[in-house]
Structure 1
Amino acid sequence: SRNLASFVVFMDMEGTRYTHPNKDLIGLKFTGGDEVEALKGRSYISKAVGISGPSIRGFSPIFIDGVQVGAVSVGMFQENVDSLLETNRNALLYTMLMSIIIAIPSAFALSYNIKRTIFGLEPVDIAMLLTQREIMINSVKEGIIFTNKEDKIELINDRACEMLGLRKDDVGKHVKEIIPTSRMDDVRKSGIDEYNEQQKINGVTIITNRMVVKYNENILGVVATFSEKEELQRLAEELTNSKSYASVMYR
């Protein structure tokens, strides 16, 4: 492998060199003054002027059986560092330029795809739609529960909570955990809607519809709408009485 180091110097605890590219310097004291902390057990990088000129060098202590016996310094002469930077500068600039050229159209493509996915809506429009949806869902008299393709609850409206004793923090839980007899998971698996089914949940008898929600033929989940049976019976009786009254009036 290519070695970019200009020198590797081993020294003892007195700072005496045991190795050096210049053999005449072996046995002499290390110069530069930045070796002191390495002889105290620290590792670091330093820039100093040694006997061979300015250099950037790293220091690390040497231990044998837990006892420090010296230190090692590995470095590059400053002129070699400058030469290396100059040699690679054009390649670095070219790489940066190509990255920018690739990144800009990629960013536009990503932005376009995101806009298309959200039907060209701006964030403020999305926030408004979500607010409107929340108001509408919670204003209806029927209970509404939506589960995703993993049968986890993603939406519960206020009426469902009131009718069945559910809580908004049930969102995210598996529907079987909250409503064991919901059959919403069965509807998702079969892909067949169920209408006007009578069911008893938490002591409340309801009439429910369970419908598969699809997008591009892919099942996204199931939505269940329901009303209390007693409420429907009361409405039916009122409607029957109204029809009877109307019949009497127009005889």
Structure 2
Amino acid sequence: MRLFLAQLYPRRRMTLAGQYLVLQLLIIAVVLAGVITVALTQATNNFEKIEGRRSLSAAESLAANPLLRVLLPQAEPEMGSALPAMGESVRSTSGLQFVIIADPQGTVITSSYPDEVGTSILHPESAVAEGRGWTGEIWRNGNHVLIAQVPVLDDDGKMVGIVSAGQSYPSTGEMIQDIAPSALATLLISLVLGTTGSVLLSRRVKHQTRGMEPGEIAELFEHREALLHGVKEGIISVSPDSRVMLANDIAVELLQLPDDCVGKTLDELEVAPQVRHALNTSQEQPDRQFLVGERVLVFNRMPVKTARRDLGSVTTFRDKTELTLLEQELGDSKATADMLRAQTHEFANQLHAISGLIQLEEYDEVIGFIDGVSFSRSKIFEDVSACIAEPTIAALLIAKSSVATERGVHLAMVPNSALGRCEDQLARDLTTVIGNLVDNAMDAAISASTPQIKVGIEETNELVRVIVSDNGEGIAEDAIDEIFTQGFSTKDSSVSGGRGFGLAISRLVCRRRGGELAAANDHGARFTATLRK
């Protein structure tokens, strides 16, 4: 199988371990990207929290300086060095990037960036013009800046200026450099764990799949499905706890199971008793036959076991209904031929007797012997021919009458029996039913002191009714239904193909024609078969 699958896969495909490793790497990459994103976001939040607080503290400290509050009302841009010195002192002490001092209108008087002197530092989002401190982020000359602005108030509470301090946001590269060592360590640990896990998981899975790769498993599954649903025989697998594990389309159809039968127990599916028996019972001989619905199915059950546990069984079966009917018809034809052969020997013996009497010149004895034989034969022919117009049925009853006579059983037609000519299919079905019923009646009546069989045939515009009764011991009450449904037989069932299917086939034929076959006890057994035209 491995060689066959290898031929189906000439190109080398990635192994299961390789696929697991690739999947692990993809997962690690996604997780690492998420971790870096979260780390950058956290770093930005920390920067805003820490640097915003430090910038605001530095600006408030400078705004509270008494000297600044005195000098600022008369200060102008680029006049004097006291204010720039104060701003630079605060910037260097706090470690900020810039410190700006502006008048109440926001015009810069002094700044760590000389080119900003004379420009405005007021922003639409800022609340400093209302006399309140403000912290926010702005873009200045293409740089992302975190800034804090605080109003400068004189002793009377009047705003005399604005102090602004801040720091530029670190670049993404700088933040990545900060978190690179931890991210690299996380990546290495993830790679080691992912690779080790992939190898171990691959080994376990391949052990469970008998060393097969996913592509081989998929190809094997496709071939199994094609084989399972491509055969004409029914295939069903049953676990040790009587649960259906597998069933192809033919099995579902022949056993009359629901489409969702897989996974359900035989009790839940309410299968027929004979089906349960066929699927759960050890089978010593092949080709066991059971009547399921209106079909004769041939079952073959095979237990499935491994070295570790019992897997249940696999049962194959096929529809043998038509073949069984043909066998019945062939058996009737063979029986007729055997009866004709026996009659040939009987006639030969009678001719020998006549020849001997003639040689002995016992002519009166010859005439009496011939009259006796003629009367016996004529009586049988007349009884049957008078009420049966269908040649096939008449010939069958005459032949059965001869067999019954040889076995010491008296076969008689019920008065007022009648049957006209029938179409071919109805005649064949009547031959099967009457032949089986008469044979069973002869077997049952043979135990009586004076064995006797009665055959009655009634015909209407819609149906034909056949009644066959014997004076044997009758049928056990607990076996009246069983004789029709389970191939029941009191005879030896070890013969090829089994016994007990005559009545089952007869009922099948009756039901196919819209009729029925019923049994009852009436001083023996009585079978009533109804076939619609």
TM-score (norm 2): 0.27
Give the strand-richer structure, 1 or 2.
1
Q: Which of the two has higher C-alpha Rg?
A: 2
In terms of fraction of residues, the more helix-rich structure is 2
Higher relative contact order (CA 8 A, sep 6+): 1
